[in-house]
Amino acid sequence: MITISHPSKIINANVNLPASKSISNRLLVIHFLMNKSFKIENLSNCNDTADLINALHQIESKNNLENKVTVNVGEAGTSYRFLTALLATLPGDYELRGSKKLMQRPMGQLIEALKQLGAQISTTNNTGNGPLFIIGKTLQGGSIAIDAGTSSQFITALMLVAPYFKEGLTIELKGKVVSFTYIKMTVELMRAFGAEVEFNDNVICISHQPYHTSIETFTVEADWTAASYWYAFAAISKECNIVLKGLNEQSLQGDGILAHLFNIYGIQSQFNTFGVTLSKLKGSGFIHIFDFVDNPDLVQTFAFLNAALGLPLQVNNASNIVHKETDRISAIANEIKKIGGLLTVIADDDFNIENNKPELSEKAIFKTYQDHRMAMSAAILAMIFSKVTIESEQVVSKSYPDFWEHLSQAGFEISSI
């Protein structure tokens, strides 16, 4: 447990943001399938990526096809989904497992889709939860339809291995597509490495064309979602001059929309060769209603930001965030209540947050629910209160291991309890 404060509320900082976890993990699967024929620079140092690297090493080190290989992905949900599809295509006998909480996250749609394509996957008592028992083999491929409203990671997992299906793969996305920008990221990365991918009218067509490339080195850009917390600090600060290194204005990441969104809050983004510099403009507004269907990882940032400013927020199309590291809608509701905010669900996908002038009891402790984004979003409140207490602060290692150290370098005072 830690306490965090910022005495001056003036931030001058040069921040080496973590590399994008989303790009890193997709690249690692492509890298594996290409027998490491190119070099990856600036790979994410977060726990999720480390768990995926370790899992891929476990697969590589298997002695022969007759021995079962147990692959453990820890807490890494993205890796769990990606490896389910990858192992289904690699000859061998595998058991795929992770943390107890991860084994409870939904997997049924991905498993069913892979089975339709010829994969051999079973679960304990056929519950659909992990661990998974996979007999890998070359898959025929073909055509499937999948509900695109639960997790884009299911779709990406299928896409990444589809160039190795004998007949390629056609995916029809049914219903409302969530996290479209993450699917687009997958398309662009696959094309960069020679895959033939077409994406039109909710139909993705991938040809049988194994990855190939003349690229010798691929450098992973910095993580725009990690940048969101610094944008929020800037919006609440008295003054700021924040340099966020490694961000690209023309980004593969959908959360690059932050530069536009925070201009509304009075934050100017000046891009240059090393990243972006944030400064405050005179006068500002705020976002009252926003559709988060393509940017689910920004919901907590804006929920806590508007709560800190005492401003209302209507969040649309965010139902899939209940399936993340925790039920994020319930977690947000519980935590902003501690400063006077009220969250009301108005539809399956939408909720309102009503905020008054924020007040905080000295005894208040912000819980993290084993969710890295709850911890980093709660830190935003240190810009308006004299001190904020956050439990289980180590959860940030899932995506941003150096978060607290970077805050210290930016003038935040952090103490362990």
By three-state DSSP, how is residue 268 classified?
Answer: strand
The model's confidence at residue 220, banded by pLDDT at 50, 70 and 90, is very high
pLDDT digits (tens, 9 = 90+) for 72-87: 998 888 899 999 999 9
Phi and psi at residue 346, to the nearest 5°: -110, -10
Higher-confidence residue of 210 and 125: namely: 210
- Report the pLDDT value the prediction gives residue 125, as an integer from 0 to 100: 64
pLDDT bin (cut points 50, 70, 90) of residue 178 is confident
Look up 297 and say whether it is catalytic.
Answer: yes
CA-to-CA distance for 269 and 234, rounded, in angstroms? Answer: 11
Give the homologous superfamily in CATH for domain 21-219. Answer: Enolpyruvate transferase domain (3.65.10.10)
The CA angle 309-312-316, to the nearest 5 degrees, is: 125
| Amino acid letter, residue 149 | G
* Closest by CA position to 381, among listed 354, 343, 402, 407: 407
Round to whole Å and give the CA distance between 138 and 119. 9
User: Cβ(27)–Cβ(218) under 8 Å?
Assistant: yes
Q: Which of 51, 297, 349, 402 is catalytic?
A: 297
Are 414 and 404 in contact by the 8 Å Cβ rule? The answer is yes
Cβ neighbours for 55, distance < 8 A, ≥ 6 positions apart: 71, 72, 73, 76, 79, 83
Residue 320 scores a pLDDT above 90: no
Give the pLDDT confidence score for residue 124 in this predicted structure.
76
Nearest to 187 by CA among 41, 23, 44, 31: 23
CA distance 401 to 50: 11
Average pLDDT, the chain: 92
Same CATH fold assignment for domains 2-19+221-416 and 21-219: yes
Residue 185 β-bridge partners:
none
* Helix-, strand-, coil-residue percentages of the chain, each rounded to 5: 40, 25, 35
Q: Average pLDDT for residues 388-413, to the nearest whole number? A: 96
Contact 130, 102 (CB under 8 A): yes
Phi and psi of 233, rounded to 5°? -60, -45
Q: What percent of the chain has pLDDT over 90?
A: 74
Residue 318 has pLDDT above 80, yes or no: no
**pTM score:** 0.92
Give the residue ranges of DSSP H helices in 214-298.
Answer: 224-236, 258-264
Query: What pLDDT does 106 receive?
Result: 73
pLDDT for 128: 65
pLDDT of residue 129: 73
Which amino acid is residue 277, in one-letter code? T
Q: For residue 205, name the pLDDT band (cuts at 50, 70, 90).
A: very high
Predicted confidence (pLDDT) per residue in 342-376, tens digit: 999 887 778 899 988 888 887 899 999 999 999 99
CATH superfamily of 2-19+221-416: Enolpyruvate transferase domain (3.65.10.10)
Q: Rounded CA gap, 346 and 239, in Å?
A: 36
Domain boundaries, the chain: 2-19+221-416, 21-219
Helix, strand, or coil here: 334?
A: helix
28-54: pLDDT as tens digits: 999 999 999 999 999 999 988 999 999
Contact 378, 332 (CB under 8 A): no
261-271 residues labelled b (16+ CB within 10 A) or e (exposed): bbeebbbebee
- Judge whether residue 206 has pLDDT over 90: yes
